[in-house]
Amino acid sequence: MAKSTVETVTITRLGHLGDGIAETETGTVFVPFTLPGERVEIERTGDRGRPLKILETSPARTAPTCRHFGACGGCALQHMKPEAYLAWKREQLRVPLAQRGVEAPVAPVVPVSTGSRRRAVFAARRVGKQAVFGYHARHSHRIVAIEECPILRPEIANVLPGLAKLAGPLTPFKGEIRIGVTATDTGLDVAFEGPRPRPPALAPLAAPLLQQLGIARLSIAGEPVMTFAEPTVTVDGMQIALPPLAFLQAAASAETVMGRLVGDAVAGAGRIADLYAGIGTFALRLARQVRVLAVEGDGPALTALAEAARRARGVKPMETLKRDLARMPMSAGELSAFDAVVFDPPRAGADAQAREIAAANVAKVVAVSCNPATLARDLKTLVDGGYRVDRITPVDQFLYSPHIEAVAELSRDT
């Protein structure tokens, strides 16, 4: 085990995960929950420092809003004043673009409010005879039990003790489970993943407890085991039946902003391909005005999208295509039949697909991403293929975390 020492360091900058960075004679040290310009007494182990005392405080520091901040690893930046925080978030996008040599105007960050996050993933593990429910500590497998979370929508935040009670009998004796919770129009969609709980564990979970917590559906390993109401979400007035574990943008307000940005960017297009379409975050909105091909590899998500489009009024006929775009991207020839392409890939980005888009004769492209590094890589591919980046808008739907969403608008002369 590495030996710990007590040292005093000066924080010079923030790393991409939000940790303060200090340069010392014995190397770089990362200190969470600190800010540039601060002198901090730390307990150091290797290149990690645990802050013991802030000796000189940054003017950008503010009081955190949550009692668990500093123990829970869910938030990294509650201690930073809004103006400095949003400026740092913008840099998280600007820096990787510059490193890739992509010249692009980056707009100010669009913020979200506290209490707006509609989905969260918790963890639970047995410690002795008790099950601990909460978030992981920073850089640790240890679970911090939580009683509040100011970033979550009230439907989730107000029932955290009840969710912990629910997790208790479903937590196996060995291993850790993940509990995904999504606030939907009809109630909470709760999904347990990981080591399967003992079959008798469901017996104590009487329906009144689940209804008291506002749970619409309880799923285990992707299979619904109790459903009181079909979980639905609304996109531009259209209802979507949410499959278990389906991807959903973290904040509805951020989704609305991104939908508007995407729609404005492709205005005037006659036919649009929406790649990695998911449940239809963008495809359904676009179909109000134009014919859309929605391509998605997740079968249940694509089925939910197709059914929502079929039921909706005032939308153009929509085509859907099930396809794993990482393994079999849409070819340049296929894409050249469209006036615009929208793509919103997972964090790994769309390396192969971006190369095909770059070779296609498509006038407008919109890239949506939650990973600045892979976004910068994919944009570089498109720029090298003849596109120009007209604007990038960061959207801070991952409040107080080091992550940032972005919508990039590109065009080319065809």
Domains and CATH numbers, the chain: 4-61 (2.40.50.140), 86-113+248-411 (3.40.50.150), 119-230 (2.40.50.1070)
Q: How far apart are CA 274 and CA 168, in angstroms?
A: 41
Residue 275 burial (10 A CB sphere; 0-12, 13-18, 19+): buried
pLDDT at 17: 93
Question: What is the per-residue burial (b if ≥16 Cβ within 10 Å, else e) of 127-149?
Answer: eeeebbbbbbbbeeeebbbbeeb
Q: How far apart are CA 248 and CA 255, in angstroms?
A: 9
pLDDT at 67: 95
Locate 172 and state its tokens.
């196996």
Tell me the one-letter amino acid at 390.
D
Q: How far apart are CA 24 and CA 236, in angstroms?
A: 53
Residue 402: how many CB atoms within 10 A of its CB?
18
Nearest to 280 by CA among 253, 257, 298: 298
Helix (H, G, I), strand (E, B) or coil at 394: strand
Rounded to the nearest 10 degrees, the angle between the axes of helix 351-359 and helix 372-384 is 20
Residue 182: how many CB atoms within 10 A of its CB?
26
**DSSP class of 288:** T
pLDDT at 201: 58
Helix (H, G, I), strand (E, B) or coil at 155: helix
pLDDT at 138: 85
* 276 annotated binding-site participant: yes
- Structure pTM? 0.93
* Torsional class of 230: left (φ above 0), alpha (ψ -120 to 50), beta (otherwise): beta
If residue 383 lies in a helix (H) or strand (E), which one and from where to where?
Answer: helix 372-384
pLDDT at 200: 54
Q: What's the gap between Cα 157 and its chain centre?
A: 18
* 400 annotated binding-site participant: no
Whole-angstrom CA distances from 359 to 338, 344, 362, 379, 387 are 13, 18, 9, 13, 10
Q: What's the gap between Cα 83 and its chain centre?
A: 22
Candidate list 66, 72, 149, 370, residue with the active-site label: 370
Specify which residues 7 forms β-bridges with. Answer: 42
Residue 403 burial (10 A CB sphere; 0-12, 13-18, 19+): buried
Low pLDDT (below 70) residues in the chain: 1, 196-206, 414
* 85 annotated binding-site participant: no
* 409 annotated binding-site participant: no
Q: Which residue has the tokens 């989704």?
A: 255
Q: How far apart are CA 379 and CA 181, in angstroms?
A: 33
- 370 catalytic per annotation: yes
Residue 208 burial (10 A CB sphere; 0-12, 13-18, 19+): exposed
